[in-house]
A = this chain, B = another copy of it.
Amino acid sequence: MPVTFCTFALMSNIKPSLAKGTRDFSPQEMTKRNHIFDTIKKVFKKYGYAEIQTPSMENLSTLTGKYGDEGDKLIFKILNSGDFLSKVNPDLLAVKNSNAVTSQLSEKALRYDLTVPFARYVVMHQNDIALPFKRFQVQPVWRADRPQKGRYREFYQCDVDVVGSESLLNEAEFVLIYQEALSNLGLKDFSIKINNRKILSGIAEIIGKPELIIDMTVAIDKLDKIGFDGVSKELLERGFTQEDIDRLKPVILLEGTNDTKLTTLKQVLSASQIGLNGIEEIELVFNYVQTLLGKDGEQPKLELDITLARGLNYYTGCIFEVKTNEVAMGSIGGGGRYDDLTGMFGLKGLTGAGISFGADRIYDVLEELNLFPESTAAGTKVLISNFDPAAENYALPLLYQLRASGISAELYPSAAKLKKQMGYADAKNIPFVLLIGSEEMQSALLTLKNMHSGEQEKLSIEAVIARLREV
């Protein structure tokens, strides 16, 4: 509260509103959001990942050119301070060329994701960090997208990445991280899909159309929605022949267990070194997962899915995507290996791999499945009633005693009618009210009311503390 407001009277008629595409989070929502973040972070830490944070704003030059032309347009730029027009070319202003003056009006921008800032971090701190560097990062990002249901201009990303380790153990651990974090959040039926960029390259290679790999994967990716006939039609439009499609068919329609799929793929890709390489990587990940789990570990639902593409220009090895099967919802996580994370900042040859969790979608899933724990756990546990100054005076040291015992407690801050105080406890979802009237003060036996069951008990303050510690 360190600020002076000078113009109260002047401002009093502005009707407040949120900036488009942004959200407030209420105490109830924060409790739920923190539950998600805390659960995920705890697993990250157990796997040896450490938290870093980067600034919300980066130099514009750090961000532009990293997300494609469309992405560049969605970066929120920050207007330079002071007399920002003075440096701008007047000719460009005269013709109102917004594009051309952007870099003269703005030096800084809000981060668009956590990956580019992380790459910058690794390069800038390369002398201080021990490789492999395993970091997680949970921070908001900003995109000037058109807001719509489920798409916001400010949202959190939860990323976990390792740089400087080629071992496929990292990929196997990502599978276990997804499995553990999502299970801990209460999800029961979800699939962790895995594919490998090298397998896709191999497929394009054996058809003799390596240059059409993007067209191929974009089409294959739609199998779920448009079926094989639709995919065929799109492939023909994108420059493939009927013969190509006949060769692709067994791959696109690959079904069965992971083992069955791998056996078929090995035959189809027997002439492609890169394709066989991809298969080998997938097999190594599967083996790592099995060996890690030993006899007792719970099997994750890990599915080889050849139609999985993600950002193909970017990934170079294994790619992941996670879907829940309990609710209709897009992917709730994804990631993969990229061979040159830091190259864009001049540090070559550092491999990286990472996954992320879609916190906002996970929130919606948990809400729909009613999987959030009772929110009361995090809030005030007991409200002490306040009927008159004598009762207030009696209550104050008890309030202190409750808190000293680690119990979140409040005294209703002024004398008020019981109904009003009960309404306050209800609105805040406080599970217990401690009623102190003249009888209670005389007997030193306080009335503890359970707000869920309505039950009342007469207890000493010591017994109240013991009771509240139990629940």
Contacts and interface: CB of A to CB of B under 8 A. Distances in A.
Contacts of A170: 413
Nearest to A50: B27
A173 to B, nearest CB: 9
A441 interface: no
A145 to B, nearest CB: 9
A399 B292 contact: yes
Interface in A31-53: 31, 34, 45-48, 50-53
Contacts of A329: none
Interface stretch (A74-82, A203-211, A446-454): A74-82
A327 interface: no
A460 interface: no
A313 interface: yes
A202 interface: no
B4 A403 contact: no
Contacts of A250: none
A101 B93 CA distance: 12
Interface size class of A (residues with CB under 8 A): 35 or more
Contacts of A354: 1
A15 B56 contact: no
Contacts of A356: 1-2
Contacts of A278: none
A250 to B, nearest CB: 28
B13 A346 contact: yes
Nearest to A114: B1
Given A57-B154, A346-B15, A400 B292 contact: yes
Contact of A85 (B101, B159, B165): B101
Contacts of A56: 22, 56, 110, 140, 142, 154
A73 interface: yes
Contact of A424 (B110, B130, B153): B130
Contacts of A167: 413-414
Interface stretch (A226-234, A259-267, A337-345): A337-345
A270 interface: no
Nearest to A76: B78
A313 B6 contact: yes
Nearest to A45: B408
A59 interface: yes
Contact of A413 (B15, B31, B165): B165
B397 A291 contact: yes
Interface string A244-255: 000000000000
A106 interface: yes
Interface stretch (A61-69, A190-198, A363-371, A431-439): A61-69
A334 interface: yes
A19 B54 CA distance: 11
B12 A55 contact: no
A396 B291 contact: yes
A86 B98 contact: yes
A149 interface: no
A19 B57 contact: yes
Contacts of A236: none
Pairs A-B, 3 closest by C-beta atoms: A130-B427, A294-B397, A22-B55
Given A3-B66, A86-B98, 6 more contacts: A4-B313, A12-B346, A22-B56, A27-B135, A79-B105, A291-B397
